[in-house]
């Protein structure tokens, strides 16, 4: 009898381990994952011919519009839109990602290096966008394996169709082959026009989005990916510290000057006048956004219970749906992990977030399923 128990017990442990690991990133919920041993050559050849094989790229993502854009650098140094793809699925709400398992797709400015590309993903093809970045870590946010991938299914990632990810992946491969060491991915809740910002004037995420808008406006004005740094737990764009100082994510921002050749759509001090604040909000109600870490904690707890096979609601509860005791219980592990992540960020060496970061190569071994 013991001979038959052992394989079953082993299989059960493997299932539990897989469920626990699945919380770390995005998990296919609606479609079986596919597999590809390498990037399809047909797409790579087609993109290489179209881009002369040596063209740096950057990408922009817009949640509300459901769009992923690929931009290519032109001969004059400015970037032009090369392709636009409808996002097949993204999970969560508008607003940033706070914690592992909260099902939120990240928002912010991220850097993708060649080591983050995975041609052997169970989701056809994928690349890790680089969450958490310096801003996320400085604010105690944590999580792993947040991807752009195929298979059209998502629980925290940006998922495309297999045909779309083949082309997107080929753009990146071609850029790396041409010598680009890293490309920027800017993920936004929506197109950050003054009119769209006015729709969210009362939203709890407005301060975060106003900060992102500075980088959005800088690109809109110059068509050049902004130089991105983090100091004082805030993003700063196209700035150079004075007197040999350095930007440190967890320390106050030093005095700085705007980069001399960087055009900007905001004022000399680096902040755009909030023209949207005086606009009337349109009658159309905005899309819901995540209310903060409490809602993220409840979503993470809901995800963990669901993967354990517990009976849960169809969607994660909101803070107003649960008792104070339930909310505190869900918050406790998230706040503890957030505190550990913040301490680790403060102890870590400074990392730059430029288009071609001068940092050690990311050698993290990505699991094949992502």
Residues marked active site are found at 149, 157
Do residues 148 and 126 lie in contact, with contact meaning Cβ atoms separated by under 8 Å?
Answer: yes
DSSP three-state, residue 214: helix
Helix, strand counts (H, E) of the chain? 8, 14
Do residues 336 and 134 lie in contact, with contact meaning Cβ atoms separated by under 8 Å?
Answer: no
Which alpha helices (DSSP H) does 286-354 contain, by range? 293-307, 324-347
Phi (first) and psi of residue 315, to 5 degrees? -135, 160
DSSP three-state, residue 96: coil
d(CA 155, CA 138) in angstroms, rounded, equals 24
Tokens coding 235: 């993003």
Q: How, if at all, do strands 108-113 and 182-188 pair?
A: antiparallel
Sign of CA dihedral 313, 300, 108, 18: negative
Do residues 167 and 148 lie in contact, with contact meaning Cβ atoms separated by under 8 Å?
Answer: no
Tokens coding 140: 């105690």
Do residues 51 and 72 lie in contact, with contact meaning Cβ atoms separated by under 8 Å?
Answer: yes
| Strand ranges, E, within 129-215 | 147-149, 158-159, 182-188
d(CA 79, CA 81) in angstroms, rounded, equals 7
Do residues 296 and 278 lie in contact, with contact meaning Cβ atoms separated by under 8 Å?
Answer: no
Strands of 158-159's sheet in order across: 89-90, 158-159, 147-149, 126-128, 117-118
Question: Which DSSP category does 123 fall into?
Answer: B
């Amino acid at each position: 009898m013991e001979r038959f128990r052992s394989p079953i017990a082993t299989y059960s442990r493997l299932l539990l381990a897989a469920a626990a690991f699945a919380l770390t990133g995005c998990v296919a919920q609606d479609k079986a994952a596919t597999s590809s041993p390498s990037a399809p050559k047909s797409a790579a050849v087609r993109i290489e011919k179209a881009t002369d094989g040596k063209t740096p790229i950057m990408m922009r993502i817009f949640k509300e519009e459901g769009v992923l854009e690929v931009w290519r650098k032109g001969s004059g140094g400015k970037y032009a839109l090369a392709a636009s793809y409808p996002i097949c699925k993204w999970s969560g709400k508008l607003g940033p990602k706070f914690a592992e398992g909260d099902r939120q797709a990240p928002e912010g400015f991220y850097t993708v290096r060649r080591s983050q590309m995975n041609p052997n993903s169970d989701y056809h093809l994928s690349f890790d966008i680089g969450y958490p970045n310096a801003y996320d870590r400085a604010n105690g946010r944590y999580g792993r394996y947040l991807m752009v991938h195929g298979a059209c299914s998502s629980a925290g990632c940006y998922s495309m169709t297999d045909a779309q990810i083949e082309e997107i992946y080929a753009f990146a491969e071609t850029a790396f082959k041409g010598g680009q060491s890293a490309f920027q991915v800017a993920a936004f809740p929506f197109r950050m026009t003054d009119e769209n910002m006015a729709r969210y004037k009362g939203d709890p995420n407005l301060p975060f989005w106003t900060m992102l808008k500075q980088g959005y406006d800088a690109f809109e004005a110059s068509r050049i990916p902004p130089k991105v740094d983090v100091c004082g737990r805030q993003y700063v764009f196209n700035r150079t510290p004075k007197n040999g100082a350095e930007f440190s994510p967890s320390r106050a921002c030093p005095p700085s000057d705007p980069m001399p050749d960087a055009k900007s759509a905001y004022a000399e001090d680096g902040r755009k006048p909030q023209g949207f604040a005086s606009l009337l909000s349109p009658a159309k109600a905005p899309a819901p956004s995540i209310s903060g870490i409490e809602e993220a904690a409840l979503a993470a707890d809901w995800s963990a219970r669901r993967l354990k096979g517990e009976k849960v609601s169809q969607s994660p509860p909101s803070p107003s749906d649960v008792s104070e005791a339930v909310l505190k219980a869900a918050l406790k592990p998230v706040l503890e992990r957030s505190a550990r992540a913040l301490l680790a960020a403060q102890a870590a060496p400074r990392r730059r977030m430029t288009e071609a970061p001068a940092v050690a190569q990311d050698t993290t071994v990505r699991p094949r399923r992502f």
